[in-house]
Amino acid sequence: MHRDFLNIADFSSDETFALLDLAERMRTGAYQAKPLTGKALAMIFMKSSTRTRMSFEVGANQLGGTAHFLSPRDVQIGRGEPIADTARVLSRYVQGIMIRTFAHQDVVELAEYASVPIINGLTDLSHPCQILADVLTMQQHLGGVRGKTVAWIGDGNNMANSWMEAAAHLGFTLRLACPEGYDPDAQFLADAKARGGDVQLLRDPREAVAGADVVTTDVWASMGQEEEQSKRAVAFALYQVDAELMARAAAHAVFLHCLPAHRGEEVTAEVIDGPQSVVWDEAENRLHVQKAIMAVLMGGERL
């Protein structure tokens, strides 16, 4: 029976920490196995991406396998083929499918009908691979995640949703500062709190970052929301991460951003290019985390 990775909680807390340990071994070069030898990953991109495509392609190759890029022009989903049929067909060719798309339900349906592991490369609802990379970056620079405080500044988007899930799952405090009308998903928030997560929804970014170990943000208008840019620029005007805001965090605090970033909007150049920024390590860690996920789901690596 295969496993999927659609959201953070698809692995138990213990499994998640074991997965992060495996990713750390891959990051440091201690892991040299090739569990994907002779295996192939199909990558469906309904949304374009630099980091997701390169990290999965390079990662599959480093593990001995191959990765095959499918754009909206290369799959029949956009031309009316049911997702279920695509799932059944691709399952005859490959040993895993990664999909980066808009509607989360499409990923759920793909997983329902595929007979191989499905990996969520991003949906409008969640971005679990990125959050695991962020957590690996926290471990790398802060020595761990348990008991730490993460401040999320800005839109209650897919990143905010997966941060909430991770906070409850991995034992750190999350403070979200979002403008009114841009709160994260209510079900993710309720689920995180029901599982004992220390998740706080605030309006004031200064309150959120006070003494925090991590300050993180994302673009004000995500892919597909470009027509809302001017409206969002007004709503998020007080939610820019600048040097003054970073100064309110702990002295050792690090800055994270999933990229791409818009300097002068959600973050100033002074912060993202400054000494507290670890965004390039964070981007690299997508590779290591996703290799660990593929090794476990497709390559039989045990946690």
Residues known to be catalytic: 100, 127, 130, 218, 258, 286
Residue 297 marked as a ligand binder:
no
Residue 12 marked as a ligand binder:
no
Residue 162 marked as a ligand binder:
no
Residue 286 marked as a ligand binder:
yes
Residue 3 marked as a ligand binder:
no
Residue 277 marked as a ligand binder:
no
HSE on the CB side for 53, CA within 13 Å? 12
Residue 170 marked as a ligand binder:
no
Residue 120 marked as a ligand binder:
no
How far apart, in Å, do the first and last CA atoms of the chain sit?
16
Token output for 249: 């965090």
CA atoms of 76 and 72, how far apart (whole Å): 8
Buried b (16+ CB within 10 A) or exposed e, 251-283: eebbbbbbbebeeebbbbeebbeeebbbbebbb
Q: Which residue type does 10 have?
A: D
Assign 138 to helix, strand or coil: helix
Token output for 56: 């999965």
Residue 49 marked as a ligand binder:
yes
Residue 178 marked as a ligand binder:
no
Describe the strand order of the beta sheet including 254-257 as a list of residue ranges.
Answer: 199-202, 173-177, 149-153, 214-217, 254-257
- Residue ranges of the binding site: 49-52, 76, 100, 127-130, 158, 218, 222-223, 258-259, 286
Which residue positions form the known binding site for L-ornithine? Answer: 158, 218, 222-223
Q: Which residues are annotated as a binding site for carbamoyl phosphate?
A: 49-52, 76, 100, 127-130, 258-259, 286
